[in-house]
Amino acid sequence: MTSDLEIPMDQVTYRDGQLLSALDMENDRQRDDRSSRLHVRYLHDTWGIALGFEVTQVVQTEGGIASVNSGGTGVSVGPGYAVDSLGLNILSPNELSLSIPKIDGRASFVLTMSYPDDSAFGNRAELENVCLNSGFDLRHERPVFAWKRPAAVRFGSQIPLVQINILDGIIQGALDFRARRYTQPFVRPHMAWGTTEKRRTGWNVWTGKNDSPIGVDPEQGLEVKVDTSDAGFTKNPFYFAILDRSVEEKQNNSANSDTTDMESTLFLDGLRFITDADREGFTYRIFQPESTLPKPEEAERLGWSLFWLGVEPVTGCEPAFNLQLAFTLAGFPAFPFFQVVRPPI
């Protein structure tokens, strides 16, 4: 079988005065269709019903077709849009009525639809030539519907819509929609990051022990409130933060040997944590004995700033969350101890 990468992907170009034929238009359309199929198949990796294709039971009456909850002799399929496993678009612009298999006894069937074979779009002698006001048939695409035994359904190339139980040509009970396959949205965790402005971060003295998780005495640390409202989080994200002291380190490196007292005073090895986190921001706190922690104005002068990363969790069929990969993409060093342990299923 030919690989998708082995088929050339040539760009169709045109020039002024060029005589265009149907083949030129067809090549252009085929390239666009192929690009769309590759996009769906390899980027989204999904197939199924994307929109519509609602199915109801119907019976034939004197006044026409009527919907029923049980005992139907056919089904009605509404318009819709779906994608098969090859990335082919399956479209149906109109509501269609389909009869059910006429068999004796009891049996189960699955209604499937698939992309029509290319031969269905070949030259058709009954169509008029393309002329203005000629009533030319636009050849609306329609899927191929078929009733299949459950074991005979080829999932992917055939998209299941509904399963029915038949007894002597009559549908028994309600329609079984558990056979339907829907496309899954392409979702990823919403990530945003930022940094506070050096020397204008907004450091304050952390006071009070009522809101402290460890019950420390008042004025035993520094804190800064970080605004993340511009990130556009819709629910509370997971926040990670790193204190940036690069300005201070440059100052210490350039200082002479008689500044040992200042260097020891600015040494920081306290407890740092995030609290009061929501989708609008969080508070970053540093717990340190007052004798070794600089005052807020000193922290600003030294250029202490904060680099933060927010990861908003997602719902649905999301990819596995790799914390090490998230830190790497955000510019953090990927330490070997970052590992997500997933519980056994």
In order, the DSSP letters of 234-278 are: SSPPEEEEEEE-HHHHHHHHHS-GGGHHHHHHT----EEEEEEEE
Residue 314: strand, helix, or coil: coil
Q: Are 223 and 310 found together in one domain?
A: yes
Reported as a pLDDT band with limits 50, 70 and 90, residue 183 is confident
Query: Is residue 297 pLDDT above 50, yes or no?
Result: yes
In-domain check, residue 339: no
In which band, very low, low, confident or very high, does the pLDDT at 124 lie, cut at 50, 70 and 90? low
Domain that includes residue 17, residue range = 1-42
Q: Which one is predicted more confidently, 241 or 36?
A: 241
CA distance 30 to 36: 10
Same domain, 278 and 308: yes
Specify the amino acid at residue 3: S
Nearest Cα to Cα of residue 312 among 232, 238, 241: 238
pLDDT of residue 341 exceeding 60, the answer is no
- CA 89 to chain centroid: 19
Span of 119-123, 172-176, 205-209, 255-259 with lowest mean pLDDT: 255-259
Q: What is the pLDDT of residue 315?
A: 56
Shared-domain flag, residues 96 and 152: yes
If asked whether residues 175 and 195 sit together in one domain, one would say no
- 64 and 169 together in one domain: yes
| 25 & 71 share domain | no
Q: How far is CA 201 from CA 193, 243, 305, in A?
A: 15, 11, 6
pLDDT at residue 43, rounded to an integer: 73
CA distance 99 to 66: 13
Residue 158 DSSP label: B
Residue 79 confidence (pLDDT): 92
The per-residue pLDDT for 330 is 43
Average pLDDT, the chain: 76
Tell me the C-alpha distance between 52 and 322, whole Å: 35
Confidence of residue 281 (pLDDT cuts 50, 70, 90): very high
Contact (CB, 8 A) for 162 and 75? yes
Evaluate whether 87 touches 38 at the Cβ level (below 8 Å).
yes
> How many C-beta atoms lie closer than 10 Å to residue 187's C-beta?
12
Comparing 102-116, 203-217, 294-308, which segment has the lowest mean pLDDT?
203-217
Within-domain flag for 123: no
At residue 1 the predicted structure's pLDDT band, cuts being 50, 70 and 90, is very low
Digit-coded pLDDT (tens) for 42-81:
777 788 998 899 999 988 777 777 788 888 888 999 999 9
| The pLDDT of residue 217 | 54
Residue 159 near residue 110, CB atoms below 8 Å: no
Would the pTM of this model clear 0.95, i.e. be above it?
no
Length, in residues, of the chain: 345
| Contact call for residues 145 and 96 (beta carbons, < 8 A) | yes
H/E segment holding residue 206: strand 204-206
Q: What is the pLDDT of residue 135?
A: 41
- Is 262 inside a domain boundary? yes
Count of domains observed in the chain: 3
Burial code (b: 16+ CB inside 10 Å, e: under 16) for 235-245 equals eebbbbbbebb
**Residue at token pair 């990670």:** 240
pLDDT band at residue 284 under the 50/70/90 scheme: very high
All residues at 6 or more sequence positions from 6 whose CB lies less than 8 Å from its CB, including other chains: none
Query: What pLDDT, on the 0 to 100 scale, is given for residue 119?
Result: 62
Are 213 and 175 found together in one domain?
Answer: no
Asked if residue 124 is part of any domain, the answer here is: no
Residue-level pLDDT at 267: 42
Among 155, 179, 203, give the residue marking a domain's end.
179
Average pLDDT over residues 219-228: 86
Give me the pLDDT at residue 131, please: 42
Over the stretch 152-167, which tens digit does the pLDDT of each residue have? 999 888 999 999 999 8
Is the model's pLDDT at 283 over the cut of 90? yes
Q: DSSP letters of 38-80?
A: HIIIIII---EEEEE--EEEEEEETTEEEEESSS-SEEEE--E
Lowest mean pLDDT among 65-74, 126-135, 187-196: 126-135
Residue 97 lies in a domain: yes
Structure-token match 């420390």, residue found: 216
Give CA separation, 17 vs 14, 20, 257, in Å: 9, 9, 79
Interior angle at CA 12, CA 18 and CA 115, nearest 5: 120
Q: Please indicate, yes or no, if residue 133 is contained in any of the structural domains.
A: no
